[in-house]
């Protein structure tokens, strides 16, 4: 159902549009300049392209997405070629093509790239589910039965040393994982040091296991694990596509490890020679005479021989690199790549498990003997496009199911991010008041004389009705931002000569985030400050000293739409360290029980203000 709905949305929204509209909506780049071409590992060519440096239009191209390179040159044979986006860096993009060779039309101009429908993930999810369901009498069957509560978790107590860098709940989680023989869960609420605990666990596992597989649902999360693993001295290899093009990540990718090897020049040279032989052979048409056909066959044979030699050298190097790695980091689908096809691991750690669809989570589990799920089921959920599939349970993640079956979860209970007042509401609503604010953050705030760490600014009665961008169907509220801006001005004035804190403005609505970015850029006072403006999803995993949340919704019907996703709102409410300011219409949101309780909490904490106080 999900695959069908995904495809229908793609077909209706993207495929039917002319190029001009696809560009405007962020589904196409055109025209493009070809910056670089070459060959990556395996029999794959790549191309790096760029759109105009002045182009500031938002787009939907992301690492790992399927894309199609095309040309609008007239009378071109096969004017399209598919591939996978390896990275996107501002207005540059690298695409790994589904081809041994680069298209002949690449140097002729009029080049563009389209976003395409991606069914690879669905194929891998179906394959994994089939393997899990049919597993019998093997390790996968045992893991399935343990994770789904049909068998108890089997543990052997270990004498793991207490790590002084971790707190009691973190040490307990590490010890539990090391003693478990099959399955463990780390439940890490916001700011509780989930990634720190995970990295220390990996470090200890590497002392007793040859190699550890760490998988995540996103390239961003896989990059973070790569960076943090390398920072503690582990030999980590990042497989697949990357979200950031910087030295901290690039140097650990399999591509770069291969490129840095002394033999890589030889391999590259041989691949170019093979491609040249194929190019020459293609010039001979089938209608040519016997001698031409013979020459064509000789060229193709030479190309095959050269390619085989290059592949043999490359496979040997890949084996050397992967064998030496202590940690292999990738996304779920990345774990199915050819280089890992025959690899099996003692332990797989799955980070951000609460953001992953259950079938996707099973993909890396099929490659391991022991599973550790890490995440927080009360933060960002996986995206499900089919409402029918969601109602039938497709939006319930494997970590949520496992938590139902295994009460002995490792809850990290000390958070190091938020003032206790900022933490309080989420702690009560999501974590049964089990979280404790660490002493060093419990009462921290901007300066002793500044305002309360939590504020709700109520726009009820101000007539600040939400608006809808007709093109993108996303909502925004300019008047709400005007109040936010005035509050920010006053806050900066109060701080006087004190150092400006780190500031973020986030919203559930993409259109509001884009509107705010434009407004900040044209604001003489704010443009010079480093203020992040993003959606809640875009700000996941980040934190700032001051966070503003613009709720946007304000209408007579009391419709709150996106705001109904309380897990997403939990993410927003837990990003601020010292001051959280929420701006919204109590008359609209207050009809919902969750937000009604939030308003009550703000009143109890003396954190309620009216927008009228900030009218200018």
Residues 175/181, Cβ–Cβ less than 8 Å:
no
Helix axes 139-147, 358-365, angle to 10 degrees: 140
Torsion of CA 498, 456, 355, 236, to 10 degrees: 10
Please report the pLDDT score of residue 407 as a whole number: 78
The residues, any chain, with a CB within 8 Å of residue 484's CB and separated by 6 or more, are 457, 505, 516, 548, 550, 581, 583
Residues 370/183, Cβ–Cβ less than 8 Å:
yes
Please report the pLDDT score of residue 362 as a whole number: 97
Q: Strand 531-535 to strand 410-411: parallel, antiparallel, or no bridges (unpaired)?
A: unpaired
Calpha distance 552→87 (Å, rounded): 32
Q: Do you know the residue count of the chain?
A: 616
Question: For residue 231, what are its two tokens?
Answer: 């920072």
DSSP 3-state assignment of 445?
A: coil
Calpha distance 513→476 (Å, rounded): 8
Segments in 251-397 forming alpha helices (H):
254-260, 264-282, 290-324, 358-365, 387-389
CA angle, corner 568, sides to 562 and 572, nearest 5?
A: 110
Q: What would the pLDDT profile of 562-585 be if each residue is shown by its tens digit?
A: 899 999 999 999 999 999 999 999
DSSP 3-state assignment of 423?
A: helix
The residues, any chain, with a CB within 8 Å of residue 37's CB and separated by 6 or more, are 45, 46, 47, 48, 102, 106
Please report the pLDDT score of residue 310 as a whole number: 76
**Would you call 431 exposed, middle or buried from its count of C-beta atoms within 10 A (0-12, 13-18, 19+)?**
buried
Name the one residue in this structure whose structure tokens are 């030496």: 324
DSSP 3-state assignment of 559?
A: coil
DSSP 3-state assignment of 453?
A: coil
Question: For residue 233, what are its two tokens?
Answer: 């001295």
Helix axes 593-604, 420-430, angle to 10 degrees: 150
Please report the pLDDT score of residue 454 as a whole number: 96
Strands (E), 351-434: 368-375, 410-411, 414-415
Share of the chain above pLDDT 90, in %: 66
Mark the ranges of the chain whose per-residue pLDDT is less than 50: none
Calpha distance 346→371 (Å, rounded): 9
Calpha distance 370→205 (Å, rounded): 12
Calpha distance 173→198 (Å, rounded): 9
Question: What's the pTM value of the predicted model, to 2 decimals?
Answer: 0.89
Residues 215/350, Cβ–Cβ less than 8 Å:
yes
Closest to 186 (Cα-Cα) out of 178, 198, 204, 196: 198
**Would you call 62 exposed, middle or buried from its count of C-beta atoms within 10 A (0-12, 13-18, 19+)?**
middle
The residues, any chain, with a CB within 8 Å of residue 395's CB and separated by 6 or more, are 381, 382, 384, 389
């Amino acid at each position: 159902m999900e695959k069908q709905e995904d495809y229908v949305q793609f077909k209706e929204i993207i495929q039917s549009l002319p190029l001009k509209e696809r560009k405007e909506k962020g589904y196409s780049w055109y025209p493009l300049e070809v910056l670089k071409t070459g060959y990556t590992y395996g029999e794959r060519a790549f191309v790096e392209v760029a759109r105009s440096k002045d182009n500031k239009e938002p787009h939907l191209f992301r690492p790992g997405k399927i894309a199609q390179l095309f040309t609008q040159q007239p009378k071109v044979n096969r004017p399209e070629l598919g591939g996978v986006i390896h990275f996107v860096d501002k207005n540059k993009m690298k695409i790994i093509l589904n081809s041994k060779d680069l298209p002949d039309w690449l140097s002729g101009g009029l080049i563009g790239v389209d976003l395409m429908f991606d069914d690879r993930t669905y194929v891998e999810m179906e394959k994994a589910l089939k393997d899990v369901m049919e597993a019998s009498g093997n390790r996968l069957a045992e893991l399935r039965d343990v994770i789904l509560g049909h068998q108890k978790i089997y543990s052997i107590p270990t004498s793991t040393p207490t790590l002084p860098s971790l707190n009691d709940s973190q040490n307990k989680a590490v010890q539990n994982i090391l003693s478990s023989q099959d399955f463990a869960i780390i439940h890490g609420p916001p700011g509780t040091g989930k990634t720190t605990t995970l990295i220390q666990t990996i470090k200890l596992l590497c002392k007793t296991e040859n190699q550890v597989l760490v998988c995540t649902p996103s390239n961003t999360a896989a990059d973070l694990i790569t960076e943090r693993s390398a920072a503690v001295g582990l030999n980590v290899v990042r497989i697949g596509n990357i979200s950031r093009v910087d030295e901290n990540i690039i140097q650990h990718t399999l591509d770069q490890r291969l490129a840095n090897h002394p033999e890589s020049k030889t391999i590259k040279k041989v691949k170019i020679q093979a491609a040249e032989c194929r190019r020459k052979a293609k010039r001979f048409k089938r209608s040519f005479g016997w001698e031409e056909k013979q020459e064509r066959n000789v060229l193709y044979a030479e190309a095959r021989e050269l390619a085989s030699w290059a592949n043999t050298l490359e496979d040997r190097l890949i084996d050397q690199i992967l064998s030496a790695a202590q940690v292999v980091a990738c996304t779920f689908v990345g774990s199915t790549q050819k280089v890992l096809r025959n690899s099996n691991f003692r332990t797989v750690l799955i980070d951000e498990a609460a953001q992953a669809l259950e079938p996707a989570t099973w993909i890396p589990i099929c490659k391991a003997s022991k599973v550790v799920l890490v995440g927080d089921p009360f933060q960002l959920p996986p995206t499900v496009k089919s409402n029918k599939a969601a109602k039938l349970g497709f939006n319930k993640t494997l970590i949520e199911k496992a938590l139902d079956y295994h009460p002995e979860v490792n809850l990290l209970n000390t958070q190091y991010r938020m003032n206790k007042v900022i933490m309080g509401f989420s702690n009560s609503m999501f974590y049964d008041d089990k979280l404790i604010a660490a002493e060093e953050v419990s009462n921290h705030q901007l300066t002793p004389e500044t305002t309360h760490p939590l504020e709700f600014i109520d726009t009820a009665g101000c007539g600040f009705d939400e608006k809808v961008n007709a093109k993108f169907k996303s909502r925004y509220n300019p008047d709400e931002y005007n109040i936010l801006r005035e509050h920010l001005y006053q806050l900066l004035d109060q701080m006087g000569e004190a150092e400006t804190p780190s500031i973020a403005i986030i919203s559930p609505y993409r259109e509001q985030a884009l509107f705010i970015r434009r407004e900040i850029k044209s604001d003489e006072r704010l443009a010079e400050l480093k203020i992040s403006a993003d959606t809640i999803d875009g700000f996941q995993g980040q934190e700032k000293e001051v966070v503003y949340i613009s709720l946007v919704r304000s209408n007579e019907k009391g419709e709150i739409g996106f705001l109904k996703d309380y897990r997403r709102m939990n993410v927003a409410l837990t990003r601020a360290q010292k001051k959280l300011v929420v701006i919204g219409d109590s008359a609209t949101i207050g009809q919902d029980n969750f937000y009604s309780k939030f308003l009550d909490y703000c009143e109890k904490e003396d954190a309620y203000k009216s927008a009228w106080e900030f009218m200018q």
